[in-house]
Amino acid sequence: MASITIRNIDDALKERLRIRAATHGHSMEEEARLILKQAVGGISGPGLLALSKELFGGDKGVELDLPSRHSDRDVPDFRA
């Protein structure tokens, strides 16, 4: 696993992180990992479905034209 070092964190921000971590029963390092994971980890499961419905449901969707379908070769004859 990778490691990062974050420099120049404001003292007040560090204290808020410490309090948040203690409230959740985590170390500051674990709390920072969870915050980063939530921030950049993406969305999946029920959250993804809800977001999809919000963005594309009802009249927010689009109508796409279907491409024309044609055969570029003869259909094979499987009769013996």
pTM above threshold 0.85: no
- Mark 11-38 as b/e (b = at least 16 C-beta within 10 Å): eeeeeebeeebeeeeeeeeebbeeeeee
For residues 25 and 74, the model is more confident at 25
| Alpha-carbon span 5 to 62, nearest angstrom | 45
pLDDT band at 64 (very low <50, low <70, confident <90, very high): confident
24 near 31, Cβ under 8 Å? yes
Residue 18 has pLDDT above 90, yes or no: yes
pLDDT in tens, 20-60: 999 999 999 999 999 998 888 778 788 888 888 888 877 77
pLDDT reported for residue 15: 97
